[in-house]
Amino acid sequence: MQIQRQVVDYALRRRLLLSDVYAGRVAVTEVCDANPYLLRAAKFHGRPSENTCPICRKEQLTLVSWVYGEGLGPIAGSARTPEELARLAESREEFSVHDVEVCRSCSWNHLVQSYLLGRAPTPTRRRAGTRRTAAE
């Protein structure tokens, strides 16, 4: 079972951005700017969302999970399926996951949440008798 840590939800930022789009303060072209790599990742690694696109209202959004971390090696910065995330969480050191919603019709995309997965780093113990100085 995956245990998500340090979860950050971007729902308020999303709501503010959408209110600016609906009020005409932000152009639709500014928010519907998903790059081709993100759209391709949504097609092959994404999972369906419960939400319909807030811009075009044509189709359900797709959620894509991106992984980042030093311990991931060459797969850092790539999209991963939920099954791959579970395997990585069991076998790798701590890494971050960014869930992005994307509309494959109009290219709307927005960061939904970020969190940490993987083995938590073990705290290092200081030897007894060592003291930290203000310079440390």
Instruction: Indicate the pLDDT class of residue 126, thresholds 50, 70 and 90.
Output: low
Q: Which residue has the higher pLDDT, 43 or 121?
A: 43
135 pLDDT more than 80: no
Beta-strand relationship, 60-68 and 47-52: antiparallel
* pTM across the whole model: 0.80
What tokens were used for 12? 């308020």
